[in-house]
Each structure stands twice: as C-alpha cells, then as structure tokens.
Amino acid sequence: MLTKAPRGTKDLFGDEMNAWLEMEKIIRDLCKDFGYGEIRTPVFEHTELFQRGVGETTDIVQKEMYTFQDKKGRSITLKPEGTAGAVRAYLEQKLYAGIQPTRLYYITPAFRYEKPQAGRMRQFHQFGIELLGSDSPTADAEVITVAYELLKRVGISKVKLHINSLGGPECRKKYNEKLKEYLKDNLDHLCETCRDRFERNPLRILDCKTESCKKIVSDAPTVLDVLGDECRAHFEKVKALLDEMGIPYIIDPGIVRGLDYYTKTVFEFISTDIGAQGTICGGGRYNNLVEELGGQPTPAVGFAVGLERLLLVIEAENGKKTYPVTKDIFIGSIGDAALLKAHSLIYQLRQAGVTAEGDHFNKSVKAQMKYADKIGAKYSMIIGDDEINNGKAILKNMETKEEREVHLDELVTTMKSIL
C-alpha cells in the first residue's frame, strides 16, 4: 500500500508530463485568443453545492462523490466537475458586476468514484470554459467553436460533434410526462435508482448505465419531439451558426448529459478511437444554475474536456510523442578548485537562460563526458587547474567535434551568440 497510489489515480512525469504541458500550453493560448480568463477554485467545496448544482438524482451525486466530514463535522466534497465551483465563485466574487458576458476557463483535477478503465479515472483532469450572462445562440456557438478549435490545434480530426436540445423547463415538463407515459408499463424492469428517478427526474433514466434500463429507453420519445417554439428557434439558430462557421455536427437526441443543470443546447465531442469512454468533451447551456445557487437568473453555457481522454485521442491519431533530452552545455571539472569554478559558471549560464549541467558525483573525466553525451549536451567543456590559471578553456561542439578556445569570463556571451 505504501508504494502504491490509490486505484484510479496516476503519477504524471517524464514524456507523458511533457505531453501534458504541451497540451496545457495549447489550451492557455487558445483561451487567450478567445478571450477567456483563468479561474482557480478550491479542490473541495461544501457538499450542498454539488447536490444542488449537479443534481440530487444524478449518478455523480448519488454514487460517485468523494464526500467526507472535516474536523468540525462539515460535509465536504472533492469537486467532481468544474462548473459548480466556477458558478459559486462567479456569485461570491460578484463577477456579474463586471463587463458581460463573463468568460472563464479552468484546468482542474476532478474526482469521481467510478470503476476505473481506459479513459476513466477516479482523479482525472478537466479543461473547461464557462460563458455567463448571455442567452444568445451566438454564445452557444462560440463555446462550441472553442472546443472545435482546441481539437484542431492539438491535431485531431476524427472526433465528431453531437448536438441536441433539452429545451427549457416548459418543454422538460411536457417531455417528462411523455417519457413517464412511455416508461410506466416497464417500471418493474427498471433498476432501483431509476424507479426512484421515474417520479423525481425521469430524464435521468435515459442516462442510466444499467443494461436493462438502457434497453427499455432505447426507443423512448426524444425531447426534440416536444420542443416549444422559443427553444426550437434557439436550436435552429445554433445550427445555422455552426453551418455558417463550417463546423460539422450530428443531431443526436441521445445526448442527454449526466448532470441536471442543462437547458436547451447540449453537446458532446465523441471519439471512436479510444474504447468505451469516447466522450472527450461534454457541455451545454445551463440557464437555471446561477439562480439555483442563489443568484439572479443568469443564462450560461460551457463545456469540459477530459484531459486524460484528450491525450488518448491525440496519441491514437498521431502516435505517442517523445521528447528528447537536450542541454546546451556540460561543464566538467578535474580537481576541487575546478569543481567550484565549473558550478559557478553553470549558475551564470543558467541565469542567462542557457541550459547547463555539471558533475554531481565526482566522476572521472571519461565518465563525465559519457554523461554529457547522455544528456544530449550540444557543447562541453572540461576545466582543470591550467584552465583556471589561464582563464581560458576549450569549448567542444559535441556534434561536429569542432573545438575553440573561450575566455571563461566571456563564456556566457559566447554561448548566447552561438546557440
């Protein structure tokens, strides 16, 4: 146990960490281009936030949250997703008082107690954006373009955008009745959780992962059948915007999302390359959440991308990337005085942005040069007593084997000019 990380978690390091950093850099540049500012909210929040926000009848709240009592007996939950915390902060920090709409993004760990498998972790990471303050279909389309552009920038092309509309409260009421009518004869065949959902939130049954429930709902009526005029017009506008922007999509009434806060547009980006957990991005409009959490009625729309899944898709399409180790210079030494000089030069070089390394193991010159090769040093230099006395040493180009004499007090400028 001591040397084993908990199930469903992962250490990130080496080349995989480099791939993450590259992905995160693309995300940050993307958010800058689209005008989204970063927000960091706590990893844990009061449990009620998620019960209210994500919804009491969702799998997340009913089965998957990491909830515990702190030392004062308060119920605390590790965030299972990023939206509820971002909306809580939007209200607490009065972001609604600033220029509207509010555009936020986050890269955050999230926690769900699910059965781990490829692309499904207990601690995973989300990149998400939230656009708060506008009910315009242009906001829905903008949010979708951010996700679409991300996929383009990370170099993946085979992921498909599925869109649907869940309508507003009125359409939902109508739909719930229609769905209940459809399900009522099969009530006994639903799982226990869904039997409870039948009264409280029948739409959730469509998202149940139990095989028997899945079978029963496979021919259920869809929300699209009962959309009211306003919601239908909104959905048509979103589609027209996507058409105009050249973003292909599939209308998929099966997209109902696993969280309760959605209204109107919902969407997922789905890959068929990484197995069962192919949804790499999910989101939609959530016009009632801000009010549900105590704010003024405020329309909003957003999405989250699972970064583990995104990386799986990148690797499935483009292969695993390797990041060769390289250093600008290795400075070896012979003797105590040279060791001091070498390490002082290394520090000077590093301050100037030149990647430099030296010996930390008291190795022989031969072994030091072997190490210089291993770390991919472009240049090397060995300093001994003579070099210190003359103030000069030989700088060797490790690739061409070319050598030149360099004044030690000019090493930084020399390196800056030749790199």
What span, in angstroms and rounded, lies between the C-alpha atoms of 197 and 183? 11
Q: Which residue is nearest to ligand HAM (CB)?
A: 306
Task: Check residue 271 for interaction with ligand HAM (CB under 6 A).
Answer: no
Give phi and psi for 331, each to the nearest 5: -115, 110
| Single residue of 161, 163, 274, 281 touching ligand HAM by CB under 6 A | 281
Of 159 and 345, nearer to ligand HAM (C-beta) is 159
Smallest separation, CB 304 to ligand HAM (Å): 4
Site for ligand HAM in 115-144 (CB under 6 A): 119-121, 124, 126, 128, 130
Considering only residues 24 to 83 of the shown chain, the ones binding ligand HAM according to CB under 6 A are 81-83
Question: DSSP H helical segments within 11-162, as ranges?
Answer: 14-34, 47-54, 59, 83-92, 137-153
Q: How far apart are CA 311 and CA 155, in angstroms?
A: 11
Quick one: which H or E segment has residue 69?
A: strand 67-69
Closest approach of ligand HAM to the CB of residue 202, in Å: 20
Q: Please, what is the minimum distance in Å from the beta carbon of residue 143 to ligand HAM?
A: 8
The string over 364-390, giving b where at least 16 C-beta atoms fall within 10 Å of a residue's C-beta and e elsewhere, is eeeebbebbeeeebbbbbbbbeebbee
Q: At which residue do the structure tokens 């955008």 appear?
A: 161
Segment lying near ligand HAM (by CB under 6 A), choices 157-165, 171-179, 214-222, 282-290: 282-290
- 167 part of the interface to ligand HAM, by CB under 6 A: no
Distance of CA 76 to the CA centre of its chain: 23
CB of 79 to ligand HAM, least distance (A): 9
Give the one residue of 52, 112, 172, 234 binding ligand HAM; rule: CB under 6 A.
112
The three-class DSSP label of residue 65 is coil
Q: Report d(CA 309, CA 20) in Å as an integer.
A: 12
Site string for ligand HAM, 364-403 (x = CB under 6 A): ----------------------------------------
Per CB under 6 A, does 165 bind ligand HAM? no
Q: How many residues bind ligand HAM (CB under 6 A)?
A: 27
Contacts of ligand HAM in 284-323 (CB under 6 A): 284, 286, 302-304, 306, 308-309
Exposure string over 285-313, b if 16+ CB within 10 A, otherwise e: bbbbbbebbebeebbbbbbbbbbbbbbbb
* CB closer to ligand HAM out of 175 and 286: 286
For position 280 contacting ligand HAM by CB under 6 A, the verdict is yes
Nearest CA to 322 out of 19, 29, 35 is that of 19
CA distance 154 to 163: 22
Q: Of 126 and 134, which has the nearer Cβ to ligand HAM? A: 126
The alpha carbon of residue 170 and the mean position of all alpha carbons in its chain are separated, in whole angstroms, by 34
Binding site for ligand HAM (CB under 6 A): 81-83, 112, 114, 119-121, 124, 126, 128, 130, 258-259, 279-284, 286, 302-304, 306, 308-309
